[in-house]
Amino acid sequence: MMTNPTSWIDGRNTITIEFKDHVSWSETKPIIIHAAGPCLAIQSIDWINPKTAIITTKKNISLDQQLYLEWGEDKLPIYPREVVRTAWFDQTYNAMDEQLGCVYSPEKTSFSVWAPTAIQMDLVLENDRIAMTRKSNGVWHTIITGDLKNVLYHFAVTVLGEEKHVNDPYAKGMTANSTRSVVLDLEASDPTGFRTIDYPKISKQDAIIYELHIRDATSSAESGVQHKGKFLGLTEKNTKSPEGFSSGLSYIKELGCTHVQLLPVQDFARVNELKPKESYNWGYDPLFYFVPEGSYATDANQPLLRVHECKRMIQAIHQEGMSVILDVVYNHVFCYEESALEKLVPGYYFRYREDGSISNGTGTGNDLATERNMVRKLILDAIDYWLTEYQIDGFRFDLMGAMDVETMQNICSRCLQEERPILLLGEGWDLETPLLPEQKATISQSEQLLDVSYFNDYFRDSLKGNLFHMEDKGYVNGNGHYIERLPQLVAGSCDKRFGGKIFSNPLQSINYVECHDNHTLSDRLMLSNPDATEESRKRMHQLATGITILSQGIPFLHAGQEFFRTKLGEENSYLSGDYVNQMNWLQRSKEDENVWWVRSLILLRKTYSLFRLRSAKEIQKRLHIVAAPNPVFGYMLVGEDDDFVIFANPLNSVMKIEIPAPGRWEKLISNHASYISPICSMLQTSTEIGAYELAIWKKSRV
């Protein structure tokens, strides 16, 4: 008798038999691989060790029926395992051209789901079961006549010897807490005029990004918003703080940024959608990629309502003249064992190491295998859906370095088909996931992805100190530390004159010193410079924010950075609740002068194209470093009609400087006097720059 054996299909014509105990093998007993049809002829049987045998069949194994191995009187079911991660499987069951999910019309609704290793698939409508038909590419399909609007559905799939009930990974609607998929009439979800809004289509070189968590934006009691923490909270206009200062959407518009980047909007775990105030999450625990998060809706029990309200939020942002970027998480899923993807096609959607263990380069328990055909299709279909159904203007890819280059190239190609500019950016960190280095969409592969922008951690760490070393200080908080890096930073990290070039063009550089991750800049300065006065730390903060906005590349601001946002020292506040994470609109009122400073810099950047040059060649022609006493840093932008000189002083003392060319120079903006208007003018070139001052001088040639 065989001793506790299991049998697995690990290749297109290989079956592995594994035993818990050593086995004495006798080839005198016949081995038969059989299914409903003819038996599979065996080519060879090889023992790898006393517990493992490999059977090679003469023909490829079909996965559309249950296979059994017979040895003497024993009969063992054979289940697919590593075969799903072979190139043969990916090619044989390639369904890239199929339309998956639920497609509704009042007359009929079609349902399609990809599950090549399943031997049975039923569509469950409410309590009715309908057998689905399997195509040769592994897609199960059926069409139901009649109007199924708002009907609940899921799939009953038989795979690996058991039946599982699974929601549709392509579902466009879900009940509260992702309990059941729902058939939606998407046309009924559009707000009036949703697809005809004439809002500015912002080119990449003109982008200024403002990163925002939907709940944080309005959850504060002082936000002046009625629908606090909801999609609708970001539709309300003319809201004000108790002191009468603008808040919410109106405030973001007044600040002047061009793009609102929203932390994940796609359905995520860890927040009870029926009692959202009892928990908090940033949203990096994705569940269903085609469904908006229910905790942001006014009623999660109404599946169509969350779609409608999400669209209303996007529409409102567009009406205020801004574009919308979604933060998307296509590198992992929440709890892969329970995901619909794993239940439908076990072992396919995720990366595995050579020893058979699941990869965890993302640090979340799993890595999506974006390089496989149907994982890539899932991502591309989701991108297409949010572009067309929700009119999104860009995507920020979480842990993009765990994704593969080819998938990102396909995403770029899809987005270039849109008439409006679509901004693509992501985290290009190199993560330990089983892809070859040249396959990963990391910063080191940026030349393969010229239409993708990368978060520039070199920029961040040079200005405020290495993220992972609290004792390290940067240029603004370390008396000019790393000043040698400043020329490359302000040149968009793409200028061969300054060494250490990172990118091919400045538009690949996302310049930032603060984001939702890690300490806010204010909290970092409190840690790195505890002996400095509050006023000095604010001046350091202004230097960092100012250099971010004025440098070539794409400036990125974290919501509240402009009024010294604090998270009370929390470094990773993804579960920390509203008290820590909410936008403090009382602080915004208190720091109105600094808000004006940031607003003035944004207006300057938008007014003069010299601050947003498009190419390394233009930068080499227009941008020049000027002499200054160490560690003061200065550079000049030379235009056709206007010239600018920018100086930054990271010392707590006044320094003498020389303007590099004669003429009538106007001191236009300074963090010591923040409004855009000539502060003073001069003919002489000698002047002073104050402690922790960032100042811009302008000279007109006309």
The answer to whether the beta carbons of residues 303 and 184 sit under 8 Å apart is yes
Of 521, 529, 532, 520, residue with least CA distance to 570: 520
568 to each of 241, 277, 518, 521, how far by Cα in Å? 21, 20, 12, 12
Beta strands in 380-500 (DSSP E): 394-397, 423-426, 453-455
> Read out DSSP for 231-243?
GGGGT--S-B-TT
> Read out DSSP for 461-483?
HHHH--TT-TT---TTTTTTTTG
The residues, ordered by sequence, that sit 6+ positions from 276 with a Cβ below 8 Å of its Cβ are: 229, 295, 300
Of 165, 600, 93, residue with least CA distance to 348: 93
The answer to whether the beta carbons of residues 629 and 656 sit under 8 Å apart is yes
The answer to whether the beta carbons of residues 7 and 69 sit under 8 Å apart is yes
User: Measured at the alpha carbon of residue 197, what is the angle toward residues 194 and 200, in degrees to the nearest 5?
Assistant: 140
> Pairing state of beta strands 74-80 and 6-11?
parallel
Beta strands in 350-495 (DSSP E): 394-397, 423-426, 453-455
354 to each of 85, 357, 437, how far by Cα in Å? 12, 7, 16
**Separation CA 484–CA 496 (nearest Å):** 14
List, in sequence order, every residue forming a beta bridge with 626; answer none if it has no partner: 634
**Separation CA 635–CA 626 (nearest Å):** 5
Query: In the sheet where 139-145 sits, what is the strand order?
Result: 101-104, 108-114, 139-145, 133-134
Residue 312 structure tokens: 């209303």
**Separation CA 361–CA 56 (nearest Å):** 33
Helix 534-550 vs helix 457-464: crossing angle, to nearest 10: 150
Of 126, 96, 114, 102, residue with least CA distance to 157: 114
Cite the active site residues. 398, 427
88 to each of 23, 85, 136, 251, 271, how far by Cα in Å? 31, 8, 14, 55, 40
The answer to whether the beta carbons of residues 330 and 397 sit under 8 Å apart is yes
**Separation CA 383–CA 544 (nearest Å):** 34
List, in sequence order, every residue forming a beta bridge with 696; answer none if it has no partner: 646, 669
List, in sequence order, every residue forming a beta bridge with 657; answer none if it has no partner: 687
The residues, ordered by sequence, that sit 6+ positions from 398 with a Cβ below 8 Å of its Cβ are: 264, 284, 327, 328, 329, 330, 331, 426, 427
Tokens 């569509």, residue?
Answer: 123
Helix 592-607 vs helix 534-550: crossing angle, to nearest 10: 20
> Read out DSSP for 37-63?
SSPBPEEEEEEEETTEEEEEESSPPP-
Neighbours of 619 (CB within 10 A): 22
Helix 521-528 vs helix 534-550: crossing angle, to nearest 10: 130
Helix 405-415 vs helix 373-388: crossing angle, to nearest 10: 30
